[in-house]
Amino acid sequence: MALQPSLRPLIIAGSPNSPHTLEIFLDYVCPFSAKMALAIENVLRPLFGPNGKYEGKVKVVFRNQVQPWHSSSTFVHEASLAVARSSPDNFWAFSLALFKRQGEYFDIPTSTLTPLQIRAKLAKLATDVVGSQLSDELSELLKLKSSPNGGVDVTDDLKYTVKFSRQNGIHVSPTAMWDGVTANEISSSWSEKEWIEFFATKVRV
């Protein structure tokens, strides 16, 4: 698993030292990614957490999968990376909140908003999750820099996630990788039964 230090909060389930790695590429404005997020929360995290069947054996890494054909995709992923930077323990909680309200960031609802308005809306959502004490920090992380084309303070993290997806040939969301190899059989429609069957054949420790 390759993960730059600033993105350690993207390990959303299991111990960071677990030998197996499940990486899941998700886009916050993709309905199928939202289904997968529910599976992560309701199936995977209990399996890999304290007293779970695979505790200490598997970790789950959230991979930001920006889908540029959705006009707000860059903005929602920026917001999640800002939360990862300012309040690491709340990254997954914010992600779940964003998936729950993803319809607000679909193409038509955001079509009459400016980029500044979208970022402000996301900063407000993030503040609702992490607490008002971080409101100024979150807003600052999502503020455009003085350079005309410099992006925001988490642009470098966003670039890393996009480059990682590109070099691994990831095109759609959700996509999963098991121990560094794309696992095309994994689907957002999987129930607990399919996940249990998958791990029964894959976990070797």
State pTM to two decimals. Answer: 0.95
Task: Give the total number of structural domains in the chain.
Answer: 1
Which residues form the domain of 83? 5-202
Could you tell me which residues are beta bridge partners of residue 143?
none
Q: Where are the alpha helices (DSSP H) in the chain?
A: 31-39, 45-48, 73-86, 91-100, 107-110, 115-130, 135-141, 155-167, 192-202
Residue range 125-143, pLDDT digits in tens? 999 999 988 888 988 999 9
Q: Are 119 and 74 in contact (CB under 8 A)?
A: no
Q: What is the CATH number of the domain that holds 118?
A: 3.40.30.10
Residue range 81-135, pLDDT digits in tens? 999 999 999 999 999 999 999 999 999 999 999 999 999 999 999 999 999 888 8
